[in-house]
A and B are shown apart, each in its own frame.
Chain A
Amino acid sequence: MSMDAVFIEGKRKYIFCSDEHGLRVLSSVFEHVRKEKLAYEWYHLSTKTRPFLEDFLRKQKMGTFLYVVLPYSELHIVQTMTARIGFSSDESQFIGYGEKWISVFCCRCHELNRAEEQLTELTCIQCELKLEVSDHYSELHHAFLGYPATS
Chain B
Amino acid sequence: MKWTGNLAHFPYPFKHSTYRYSNNSIPMKQPLSIEVTPSYNNEMLLKRKLLSDHPERCYQSLPHSITGQWEIVELVIDHLVSQYPKDFSVEKENTSWIFFNKILDEKVEFIFGDENSLSCEPLFFISQHVQEDLIYMRQRDDNLYLDAGQLCFPANWSLAFNIGMKFKNIHHPIPGFKEEGLDQRILQFLMRLEAGTPWERLNWSLMAGDRLDTSLETFDQWGKLRKHVTSDNAGELVHIRVEVQKLFRLPRTNSILFSIHTHLLSLEQLSTNREWLQQFYEIMSELPAHIVEYKGISAYKKAVLEYLEGQLQQLKTL
| Number of CB contacts from chain A to chain B under 8 A | 47
Q: When the two chains form their complex, are residues A136 and B217 in contact, meaning their CB atoms are under 8 A apart?
A: no
A107 contacts which of B63, B64, B161, B172 (Cβ < 8 Å)?
B161
**How many chain A residues touch B (Cβ–Cβ < 8 Å)?**
21
Q: When the two chains form their complex, are residues B161 and A141 in contact, meaning their CB atoms are under 8 A apart?
A: yes
Q: Is A122 in the interface zone, CB < 8 Å from B?
A: no
Q: When the two chains form their complex, are residues B161 and A108 in contact, meaning their CB atoms are under 8 A apart?
A: no
Q: Is A120 in the interface zone, CB < 8 Å from B?
A: no
Give B145-193 interface residues, CB cut-off 8 Å to A: 158, 160-165, 169, 172-173
Q: When the two chains form their complex, are residues A110 and B164 in contact, meaning their CB atoms are under 8 A apart?
A: no
Contacts of B158 in A (CB 8 A): 107, 145
Q: When the two chains form their complex, are residues B164 and A140 in contact, meaning their CB atoms are under 8 A apart?
A: yes
Q: When the two chains form their complex, are residues A148 and B56 in contact, meaning their CB atoms are under 8 A apart?
A: no
User: How would you classify the secondary structure of chain B's contact residues: helix, strand, loop or mixed?
Assistant: helix
Q: When the two chains form their complex, are residues A110 and B162 in contact, meaning their CB atoms are under 8 A apart?
A: no
Q: When the two chains form their complex, are residues A134 and B173 in contact, meaning their CB atoms are under 8 A apart?
A: yes
Q: When the two chains form their complex, are residues A148 and B165 in contact, meaning their CB atoms are under 8 A apart?
A: no
Q: When the two chains form their complex, are residues B220 and A129 in contact, meaning their CB atoms are under 8 A apart?
A: yes
- For chain B, which range describes its interface: under 10, 10 to 19, 20 to 34, or 35 or more residues? 20 to 34
Contacts of A107 in B (CB 8 A): 158, 161, 216-217, 219
Contacts of A148 in B (CB 8 A): 219-220, 223
Per the bound structure, the CA–CA distance linking A105 and B223 in Å amounts to: 19
Q: When the two chains form their complex, are residues B163 and A136 in contact, meaning their CB atoms are under 8 A apart?
A: no
Contact with B along A127-139 (1 / 0, CB 8 A): 0010000111111
**Interchain residue pairs with CB less than 8 A apart (11):** A86-B64, A107-B158, A107-B161, A108-B220, A109-B217, A110-B160, A135-B172, A136-B173, A139-B169, A140-B163, A147-B216
Closest 3 CB pairs of A and B: A140-B164, A107-B216, A136-B173
Q: A107-B161, A137-B172 are in contact. List 9 more A-B contacts (CB 8 A).
A: A86-B64, A107-B158, A110-B56, A110-B160, A110-B161, A134-B173, A136-B161, A141-B161, A148-B223
User: Interface on A for B, CB 8 Å cutoff?
Assistant: 83-84, 86, 88, 105, 107-110, 129, 134-141, 145, 147-148
